[in-house]
Amino acid sequence: MEKLVLIIGGNLGDRLLLIQQARKILSEKLGPELNASSIFETEAWGGASKGNYLNQVLIFESQLEPEQVLDIIQQIERRLERVREVKWGDRTMDIDILYYGDRLIHSEKLIIPHPYLEERRFVLAPLAEVLPTFLHPRSGMSQSFLLKQCKDNSKVQQYEKSLENPGL
């Protein structure tokens, strides 16, 4: 069993409900969550989206192959009505694999660790909350250190409504 670290989020529809639905389906398909970050409200990243996102990091233990996990998360995105029209565009749900244990994978279909992880404050803030000392398998730097070094100045803050729903 290896630690599987995902980030989920979106900026369309009922963002909080969609996160709740994604978590439920992920738990059904991958097994129980080991841990989850707070939900963060974040500015859009990449220039093609309008409107703030809600994002959350989830941690599972899995025996599935990474490509199987990718197929599952893409099915969940479609089930939650994600439409892929514009790269980094608006979406109901996006699910990305950030880490899969210490694996380094670079194939046509999948890159792990996530290739933009170190450039995105909206990824690093929840990662640093739940895995502050976990070392990036390529750089050897902790998530807390990566967050401190991140040059992305986009606004990332804990989503206040998530405090009302601690069981999400």
Q: Which residues are catalytic?
A: 82, 91, 94, 96
Report yes or no: 62 and 2 within 8 Å, Cβ to Cβ: yes
- Number of Cβ within 10 Å of residue 112's Cβ equals 25
Which amino acid is present at 119? E
